[in-house]
Amino acid sequence: MEDSHAEIPRTAELGGEMRERRGINFGVIGLGGCGGRLAELFHRLGYPAIAVNTSSADLSPLSIPDEGKLLLGSGEGSGGDIHNGRRLIEENEEIIRRKISQLLESSSYLLILSGSGGGTGGNSALLAEKIRDLSESISFITVLPADFEGTQVKMNAVKAIQELSELNMGSIMMIDSAKLIDRPGEGGMMRFYERVGDLVVTPLDELNAISYDESLLPLYPFDPSDLRGLMLQGGVMTLMRLDLLPADISHPGRLIFRMWDGMLRLTPISGIDPTTASGCGMLLVAGEEAMKEGGEKCFEILREHLAQVTDGCRIYPGLYLSSEKHISLYLILSGLDLPDRVAELREETEKEWEKLQGKRERLEAKPAPEAQPEIERVESLTEEELESLRILETPGGVRDSFPPLIGRIASLDRIGHSELTALKRIASRLAEMTRSSREPLLMAAEDYPAMGDFLALHSFNVALLSAYLGRGMKMSEEEVEILILAALIHDLGMFKLSREIVFAPRRLKDEEMNEIRRHPELGAEMVANTPDLSVQVPIVLIHEHERMDGSGYPEGISGDEIHHFARIVSVCDIFEAISHRRPHRDPFLPYEAMRQMMEMSRVQLDYKVVRAFVDLMSIYPIGSFVKLSTDEVAQVVDSVPGYPFHPIVRVIEVEEGRIKRKDMVYYLKDETDIKIVGPTDPLRPRTS
């Protein structure tokens, strides 16, 4: 990874091994976290690539060589603030230009790749302006936010698209996250980038290499200059590759239907208007049998149809005879108007912003609470019940004691003195156990012994994780105990909700989700005016589901308005939840959960907290299982600060459905020949 004082590498070091000749020598620049992941896809195909980012945590995992990584600033990221990203790009303009000049030694065309909603990636237009004199050929690939991403991300994206559309440079290819992923937990961002590779990167690479494919005979060649011409049309560009059946070739009407159906399903953006295109590339690749069945005739009919639909725009045709039997149709439309999705995004942003402003105005108008008289004591734990809670000297003993305690507390209207005493006793024991050993983290990674207790065990695990994370963020021991106590009861209000909703084996309806969103306030009411309870605890209960971009609940506050303790508990809460089973879904692998957390740290979670969490747990979290290059399966037993991809692991075996830990331990930081191949789950192997 480079900074402004590092020597610029030779261009040959920036690319992987090119598999075959290409028509256009693309050089790719990945800007921001999303842009870096896109650049990685091109790099794997051999294109010279550099990744430019303000976040060292986003740069480090990329398979692009360190010589191709350019870090701007201290490495803490832009925090989702597009103005911070702009400042860092402007401050490092010289080193950026030097790096890109080296890239252009072997590249004749630049692709700038970005996530339009990021604090860094949202500045792709600014980057293009800074390097405009270095290359006359620059196009863009940018990702639009998904529906579940926060208001600030969408605001960044709307601004970024507006700036790109005013540049008057090469075409902009847009990828709509809302089309490729439905929700953050279904397939996740790992699957998203796989689909981008399938729908965008691979087809573009195939078109770029088609002139040099010796297995194809050009009957009507599509030259590199044709692809270049389409990419320099300006406006919006989209492309599609569609696999056809022989029956499609022999029936022109069916082929036309399949083409437009494919445009709806396979293009990476929704709501394009083909009639606004100023350029159209159409390529048909078919075997000899398909050609004899009418391939050439269908090609001409399709060409005429596209000329009519696009109101006479220039057509760039290509017809190739393949030595294989497969039939493929490629379609490129460029010079398009902005798609409907951009207008929808702008409208969503305006509505969400008005909603947030309304929340803030109501909060500001809310009168200060009057002093409350001391709450009358309600029925509490008796001394006998308190003593019967066996707080053992092991983490497992403490954990086993917690579900009956929290269940008993949840049946009360208020937390009394004896309940608070019991909770403080557990918090103190957790603080002590986590002070000198990492062993309890392995327990937090285990499946719940009983799903009926998942809510209580989830809270216990969140408290355990929060203890370690709080110390990692240099909190005092007194603060750590308060943090643990708040984490233990952060979901207290959930126990007040209907079990039919909490334990529903399905995704919840909107009205049910509205019920779930009541639990922070219900929990805070139970601890209000509790003597000897830190005032920070009820604040954590209220703030724990708030998000840095203002998209959380119940108050919609953002940034520094959210209590620091609540930001820590939020990170531990989300990681624990998505890495464990729920009544309605299977768990993420811990590695997948960690990558999801890193994605959320762009705007929704506190970046510094997530970064400390990665340092604590490693990219392959403690307690998770990995496959090694030795073909052994191992469990991660500890992390190594500064080496998130090289934890300490212990080899395991599975015997009769049980994990058996062996004596072999690898300190991967010191092992040159042993690497992690990837995450795994030896008890739940995945078939796909």
Q: H or E segment at 610? A: helix 607-617
488-511 tens-digit pLDDT: 999 998 888 888 887 787 888 888
Residues above pLDDT 70, as percent of the chain? 88
Which of 178, 205, 232 is the last residue in one of the domains?
Answer: 205
Between CA 583 and CA 452 the distance in angstroms is: 9
16-54 tens-digit pLDDT: 554 457 899 999 999 999 999 999 999 999 999 999 999
pLDDT at 71: 92
Handedness of CA 21, 22, 23, 27 (dihedral sign): negative
Among 1-10, 179-188, 449-458, 632-641, name the most confident range.
632-641
What's the CATH number where 254 sits? 3.30.1330.190
Of 181, 226, 225, 174, which Cα lies nearest the Cα of 200? 174
pLDDT at 24: 92
Do 232 and 165 share a structural domain? no
pLDDT at 420: 87
Do 555 and 536 share a structural domain? yes
Contact call for residues 399 and 457 (beta carbons, < 8 A): yes
- Residue 247's domain comprises 213-339
Between CA 616 and CA 465 the distance in angstroms is: 9
pLDDT at 395: 52
Band of residue 355 on the pLDDT scale cut at 50, 70, 90: low
Do 140 and 285 share a structural domain? no
Residue 365 resides in a domain: no
Q: What are phi and psi of 187, to 5 degrees?
A: 95, -35
Do 72 and 33 share a structural domain? yes
Our CA angle for 201, 203, 204, nearest 5°, is 65
386 has a pLDDT exceeding 80: no
Mean pLDDT of 215-224: 90
Min mean pLDDT across 127-136, 323-332, 345-354, 454-463 is at 345-354
Between CA 145 and CA 32 the distance in angstroms is: 14
pLDDT at 105: 86
91, amino acid identity: E
Contacts of residue 11, defined as CB under 8 A and 6 or more positions apart, other chains included, come to: 48, 102, 103, 105, 106, 107
Question: Which of helix, strand or coil describes residue 521?
Answer: helix
Between CA 10 and CA 365 the distance in angstroms is: 60
Band of residue 248 on the pLDDT scale cut at 50, 70, 90: confident
Do 193 and 319 share a structural domain? no
Contact call for residues 331 and 263 (beta carbons, < 8 A): yes
Do 410 and 277 share a structural domain? no
Which of 205, 236, 265 is the last residue in one of the domains?
Answer: 205
Question: Which of helix, strand or coil describes residue 641?
Answer: coil
pLDDT at 288: 86
> How many domains are contained in the chain?
4
Residue 47 resides in a domain: yes
Mean pLDDT of 610-634: 90
Higher pLDDT pick, 650 / 3: 650
Band of residue 397 on the pLDDT scale cut at 50, 70, 90: low
Do 543 and 461 share a structural domain? yes
Between CA 205 and CA 399 the distance in angstroms is: 54
Higher pLDDT pick, 144 / 271: 144
Do 217 and 194 share a structural domain? no
pLDDT at 368: 46
Band of residue 138 on the pLDDT scale cut at 50, 70, 90: very high
Residue 364 resides in a domain: no
Do 139 and 264 share a structural domain? no
185 has a pLDDT exceeding 60: no
89 has a pLDDT exceeding 90: yes
Mean pLDDT of 565-577: 94
Residue 480 resides in a domain: yes
Do 196 and 172 share a structural domain? yes
pLDDT at 542: 92
Residue 367 resides in a domain: no
DSSP state of 13: G
Residue 604 resides in a domain: no
Do 335 and 432 share a structural domain? no
pLDDT at 187: 45
Do 445 and 513 share a structural domain? yes
Residues above pLDDT 90, as percent of the chain? 39
Q: H or E segment at 608? A: helix 607-617
Band of residue 186 on the pLDDT scale cut at 50, 70, 90: very low
Q: H or E segment at 284? A: strand 279-287
Contact call for residues 242 and 262 (beta carbons, < 8 A): yes
Residue 83 resides in a domain: yes
pLDDT at 685: 57
Mean pLDDT of 585-601: 85
572 has a pLDDT exceeding 50: yes
Residue 607 resides in a domain: no
Ramachandran region, residue 112 (left: φ > 0; alpha: ψ -120 to 50; beta: rest): beta
519, amino acid identity: H
What's the CATH number where 588 sits? 1.10.3210.10
Q: What are phi and psi of 247, to 5 degrees?
A: -65, -30
Q: What are phi and psi of 585, to 5 degrees?
A: -160, 160
Q: What are phi and psi of 633, to 5 degrees?
A: -105, 135
457, amino acid identity: L
Q: Mean pLDDT over all residues of the chain?
A: 84
Between CA 656 and CA 112 the distance in angstroms is: 52
Contacts of residue 123, defined as CB under 8 A and 6 or more positions apart, other chains included, come to: 31, 82, 85, 86, 89, 114, 160
pLDDT at 401: 79
Which of 170, 185, 205 is the last residue in one of the domains?
Answer: 205
pLDDT at 129: 94
Our CA angle for 12, 18, 23, nearest 5°, is 105
What's the CATH number where 173 sits? 3.40.50.1440
Between CA 128 and CA 138 the distance in angstroms is: 8
